[in-house]
Amino acid sequence: MVKISLGILSALLMFNLSAQIGSVDEAQRQAGKKAEPIGEFYESWSQQVNYAVVRAIEYWSPKVKIIYKQTHNYWAADVERLSVRTLEYWTPILSPVYGRTKSFWSKEFQSSIHPSVIRYYQWYYEKYGKSVSTHLNRSMNYLEPKLFEVYVYTLSYYQNNHPITLQFLSDIPAFVKKSYEKFILSVWVMLSEVEDSEFESIDNSQRVPVDLIRVIARSLNNSNISEEEKRLNILFQQIRSFGFDSGMQDCYKIKVFQLPIVNAVNTGCHIFVSEPLLDLVGESDDELVALMAHEMAHADQGHNMKTFFSLASAGVSHTAKMSMENLLWLATGEMSDYGNKTERSDHLSMVMEKFSFEAPLLEIAADQRAVMILNRAGISAKSLIQLLKRLHHADEGVQCSEKSKGGRLLEGSMTVRKYPVLCDRILAIEEVAKF
C-alpha cells in the first residue's frame, strides 16, 4: 500500500507556485497613503535592504549552485550507502524497544492519563472556554491583516522594481529538474509493477491518473520507436534549440502512449503524447509543434517540480489550519466552517481543492512561454490557438473579448485538475504573441 499511496501522490503532482495578488493602487502610493507602521518602514529602509539583498543574490547564487552540484556529485553515493547501512543496523535493535515502549504507554494512557485529561478539560471548558475563545478570535483578527500587509508590500515592491530578481529567485537549475524527473519516473515504474488487483479499492476519481502513470511507465521500457514517435521527434527539432533553459535542450525525448484520453504530459526531459490526441490533431504539423512547445514550456519553467511544492504547500497550509481548528475546539468546543467542511469530506479533498484551483495558472504560464519559444523559432503562435480551439471543440470563428473566471475539465482528460477556459488562454496568448 505504500507503493500505491506514493504513486497516487506522484500522479497528483502534474503547478506552479503562483499567487494572485492585487497590486498596490498607484494613486494611493503616489499620495503616500501606506498603512502604518509598515508603510513608514518601507519608506525608510526598502532601498537599503533591497540593495543588500540583490547584491548578495547576484554574488552568491552562482557560487552556491556550483558548490551544491559538486557536493552532490561527490557525496550522494556515499550518503546513500551510509543511510542503507545505518537502517540495516539499527532497525532490528530499535524495533523491539519501540514495541515495548508503545505497549507500556498505551496501557498507561488508556487506564490513567486519558481519563484525567478528560476530567481536566471538562473543568477547564466550563470555567475558561468562552473567555479564551474571545481572546483567540481577537488576536487572529488583529494579526491576519498585518501579516498579509507585509506580504503584499514585499511582493509588490519586487514585482514593480525588480521583476528580474524575482524571476531569478524562482528559477530551478536544469540538473535539479533532471534529478527530480528520475525520482518521479522511478516511482512510476515501481507503481507499474504492482498487480492490477491491488488497485481495486482505489476511488474512481484517482483511477484515471493512476492508469495514466502506469501506462507511461511501461512505455519507457518499449525500445521500439513507432512511426508517430519518429514524426514527433523530427518535428521537435524545429524548436529544440529555442527553449529558454539551455541545460534542458539536449535531453528531450518524445514518447507516445496508448490510453483513451486526450492529453499530453511533461515530466522534465520526457514529453508523453496520447494516441487519441494525435488522432484529434491529425496531419497538422504546425499544431503538433505548438503542442510540443507548450510541453517544453512546462519543462522550461520547472512546472513539474514546482507542482510538487505547490501540492506540499497546500498540504502544509491545510495542516496548519487544522492545527488551529483543533486548538479552537479544545479551547471552545466549537469548530469554524473550514473544520466542519473538512469533517464532511476528507483531508485529501481539502488539499486538492486548493491545489486544483491554482492549476489554470500553470497552463496559462505554459501557453505564454510556448508563444515565446515559437517566436524565437520563427513560427507563428496562431497554430497554438488553433490547437486549443480543437481541444476545446470550439467553433473556428470564436471571438474572445472578456476573460472568464475559473476553469473547467476537458472531456476525456484527467479528473484531478482544472484547465483554463478557452478565452482565458487565447487572451493570454495574444498578450505576448507577435501576429
CA distance 341 to 347: 10
Q: Is 302 left (phi over 0), alpha (psi -120 to 50) or beta?
A: left
Give the pLDDT confidence score for residue 269 in this predicted structure.
Answer: 94
**Average pLDDT over the chain, rounded to an integer:** 76
- C-alpha cell read off for 286: 504546425
What mean pLDDT comes out for the span 252-266?
90
pLDDT band at 176 (very low <50, low <70, confident <90, very high): confident
**C-alpha span between 165 and 62 (Å, rounded):** 14
Domain spans in the chain, listed from the N-terminal domain onward: 23-170
Classify residue 76 as exposed, middle or buried by CB count within 10 Å of its CB (0-12, 13-18, 19+): exposed
pLDDT digits (tens, 9 = 90+) for 349-401: 666 666 666 677 888 889 999 999 999 999 999 999 999 999 888 877 777 76
Tell me the per-residue pLDDT of 121-168, one tens digit each, with 9 for 90 and over.
777 667 766 666 666 667 777 777 777 777 677 767 766 776 655 555
Q: How far apart are CA 17 and CA 365, in angstroms?
A: 11
**Residue 429, amino acid:** I
pTM of the predicted model as reported, rounded to 2 decimal places: 0.59
Q: String of b and e for 183-216 (b: at least 16 CB within 10 Å)?
A: ebbebbbebbeeeeeebeeeeeebebbbbbbbbb
Could you report the per-residue pLDDT of 70-89, keeping only the tens digit for each?
888 888 888 888 888 988 89
Is the separation of the CB atoms in 400 and 426 below 8 Å? yes
